Amino acid sequence: MDLERFDRQLLLFGREGQEKIAATRVAIVGLGGIGSHVAQQLAYLGVRRFALLDGDVVTISNLNRHIGSTEEDVARATPKVQVVARTIRSLDPSAEIVQVDDSFVTPAGFAALADSQVIFGCVDRDGARLLLTEFACAYDQPYFDLATDTSDDEQRVGFGGRLMIRTSEQGCAYCLDLLDLEEVRRDLSSVERRAEEYAMYGVPPDALDQRGPSIVSLNGILASLAVMEFILFITGIARPPKRLLRYDGLRGVVIESKDQPRPGCPYCAQIGKGAAVDWLRHVRARRLAAQPERRPRVANGSRSESSLLSSR
């Protein structure tokens, strides 16, 4: 490791801190606007061991915010894992990178998460967040969950986001009431159930999966908050990481939430139980749902796909 390269940050956390950062195995789930920011900052920081997980490819609408993507990537439909790996290697050619060009709910995704020491969740959907929360609790892994939020109540436009950090002592996204449980239910429903709801209510499954605005600067703020807390967590300088930080863009402030975890959390109760939790049941369910003979046709003649769980 070339310490001269990191001379200015060694003034903050020293050689020992830099060595801890370099030795940490980091998984990033979801390599969109936030995840690509996180990966770039971690590479600049000196993280050298990455697992990158995302089954999506670059499209034209990604170019306003996806770090490292080009119009050539759009034309080639380059997988996001390849773009982010390219960004990392442009900063550190010797970085060790595991690429999973698929959902994290796969055997390869499970293996990559299990081999990591810190997980960054940069996903869009709360179903994916719940599965990552369950994994992090079961295998007692630190989990940084990032989310942006925008709203328009016809009076004023709101924008901001939050960072939640799960450790053994600090609760999780479920018991801190950070998840939309109806969205979770839809995300994790079987293909058959989603088709039934389409037939009953006349609402196409894709209409329930609409995403809000995404802006490069807002993504960068949340990514920077997360990477700063990661520095504190890994190096042990200054203070422990905060459990829950909220960024209010209208007020221009970052607020530490004092919300306390609800007692009796079924996910926190599984901390450290590992394989006994059988997280791989989600992988088996996803594989079963992908079998063509089990995928019913919906009214428009297309096959319904569960949003479980491509990570964008």
pLDDT in tens, 287-300: 887 776 544 433 33
Report whether pLDDT(271) > 80.
Answer: yes
Average pLDDT over residues 86-114: 97
Name the CATH superfamily housing domain 3-179+215-284: NAD(P)-binding Rossmann-like Domain (3.40.50.720)
3-17, 144-158, 202-216: lowest mean pLDDT where? 202-216
Instruction: Share the mean pLDDT of the chain.
Output: 88
Tens digits of residue pLDDT in 118-174: 999 999 999 999 999 999 999 999 999 999 987 665 566 679 999 999 987 779 999
Per-residue pLDDT at 276 exceeds 70: yes
- 311: pLDDT strictly greater than 50: no
pLDDT exceeds 80 at position 302? no
- Mean pLDDT across the stretch 97-121? 97
Residue 295 has what pLDDT?
A: 45
Q: Is the pLDDT of residue 310 over 90?
A: no
Which of the two residues, 204 and 3, has the higher pLDDT score? Answer: 3
pLDDT digits (tens, 9 = 90+) for 169-208: 779 999 999 999 999 998 888 656 666 655 665 555 555 5
140 dihedral zone (left: phi>0; alpha: psi -120 to 50; beta):
left
Highest mean pLDDT among 139-148, 166-175, 236-245, 303-312: 139-148
- What pTM was estimated for this model as a whole? 0.88
Write down the pLDDT at residue 213: 79
For the cut 80, the answer to whether the pLDDT of residue 283 exceeds it is: yes
